[in-house]
Structure 1
Amino acid sequence: MSQHYNREAELKERFNRFIADKITGSNDDYYSRLSVEDFEDIKTALKDIHNILTYKTTIRFIEWLSDRFPYVKENYQVYLDQVLNTKPSNNGYDLMVIGDIKIVAEIKCNKPINNGYVFGSNQKRGIIDDIKGLLTGKTKMKSLDPTEAYKFLVIYDFGDHTLSAAQHLIKNLSAEMKDRVTIYEEGQPLKLDKVYIVFIK
């Protein structure tokens, strides 16, 4: 006879396994020790997870740029400090290089929904807004003309899912944007009128 589904048993097992596997390394019933208020505190703390992912991906992208642009390598600390000193809610670009070269970048950590191969509608909307901001500029960024900068849309690489989702996104862009967005290929000459999608792990 099959057992009846027990919602709490499943939630407890998943929560305890995650805490043991990823944090403590020891099996215990953490779920039963926590009150509703404790779970609310955890939920509040986890709101910063997206900001942590964006921060770590931005740092890796600075390293990626340093390997390809000597100017960024020479001024690595300047751009590291720029990221460290920018609040998560800032409305500017996630990274901006102004000097011998100009670069603007938006960082996205969107995992395709349901572990699938396309971005969800809200994810798409946010990514398209960022592409528009890279191409046409942002109202608060008067100090930089985007037509003079190399433009990168940096997406955290969740593997084949991310590549497929990005390809699907480009394929379904409006006619005026489709030719201006491409997935970066190593060694290709960069053009100022395009947005290059870079996958960072």
Structure 2
Amino acid sequence: MKYKREDFLRDRFNAFLVESFDLPDQDYYSSLTAEGFIGLKSALSNINNILTLKVTLSFADWLADHYRLDDSARSELQSIVMEAKPNSNGYDVWLGYPVTFVGEVKCNIPINNGSIYGSAQRHGIEKDIAGLLNGKSKASINPESCPKYLAFLDIPQIRAANEHLLRVSDVCRNHLVFVEGEKELSRTDIVYGVYVSINT
């Protein structure tokens, strides 16, 4: 059967809406006007920021549980996350008291729904590792003497991409150590990799 671009796009669009929102099976694609598609594109332009926020909140919960933070410290950590502007120059997650740590969140989905990062994604992860190890000029905290974390969404494609990354990137192989299970995380010369699921 000959490939038809619009049929392919229509089928994927409709299937996503039906499956994600439990809608009746019908042709939503054909119901949208140009203004409707423009409105949808505008609404979805923040999808990466939404995903990053959800992963960051789950990561903050993971840190609060790991460090057994009391209600006050847990609340402070949540406030730091919620008050940070998207794409700001500081760390995604940090705390100075009663324990000190810094963390970044990566929501890269491997290219083409595969299991390998693209070169820009790889360089972004390496840059985050460097920023965690060496500090950032506009950050609210100096990470030199505290644990450092890099959090990823826990899905099979990202785990596979990270395994590949550890094989091909000297920066990651030498400085990124993934955490599995309960361990004391006190080294300050590496970045701890953490997988978190999205809270629903």
- Is this a same-fold pair by TM over 0.5? yes
- Displacement, 1:129? 0.8
3-state secondary structure, aligned to 1:70? coil
Aligned to 2:182: 187
Rounded Cα–Cα distance in structure 2 between residues aligned with 1:72 and 1:199: 23
3-state secondary structure, aligned to 1:146? coil
1:148 aligned onto 2:145? yes
Say how many residue pairs are matched: 196
3-state secondary structure, aligned to 2:69? helix
2:102 aligned to 104, 119, 137, which one? Answer: 104
Rounded Cα–Cα distance in structure 1 between residues aligned with 2:15 and 2:159: 30
What per-residue deviation string (whole Å, max 9, x for no partner) do you get for residues 16-43 of structure 1? Answer: 1211221252122211121223212211
State, as a whole percentage, how many aligned pairs show the same letter. 37
RMSD over equivalenced CA pairs, Å: 1.8
Q: What does residue range 23-102 of structure 1 map to in structure 2 within 5 Å?
A: 23=21, 25-71=23-69, 74-102=72-100
Using the size of structure 1 for normalisation, the TM-score is 0.89
Aligned to 1:6: 4
Aligned to 2:119: 121
The worse-fitting range, judged by mean Cα deviation, of 112-121 and 95-104 is 112-121
2:13 aligned to 12, 15, 20, which one? Answer: 15
What per-residue deviation string (whole Å, max 9, x for no partner) do you get for residues 111-158 of structure 1? Answer: 2222222111111111111111000000112x4221122100001111
Structure with more contact order per residue of length (Cα contacts < 8 Å, sep ≥ 6): 2
- Does the 8 A contact of 2:153 with 2:195 survive in 1? yes
Aligned to 2:195: 199
Rounded Cα–Cα distance in structure 1 between residues aligned with 2:67 and 2:19: 39
Change (3 A) 1:34 1:171: same
- Does the 8 A contact of 1:67 with 1:73 survive in 2? no
Rounded Cα–Cα distance in structure 2 between residues aligned with 1:95 and 1:157: 18
- Displacement, 1:164? 2.3
Rounded Cα–Cα distance in structure 2 between residues aligned with 1:138 and 1:96: 13
Rounded Cα–Cα distance in structure 1 between residues aligned with 2:123 and 2:100: 26
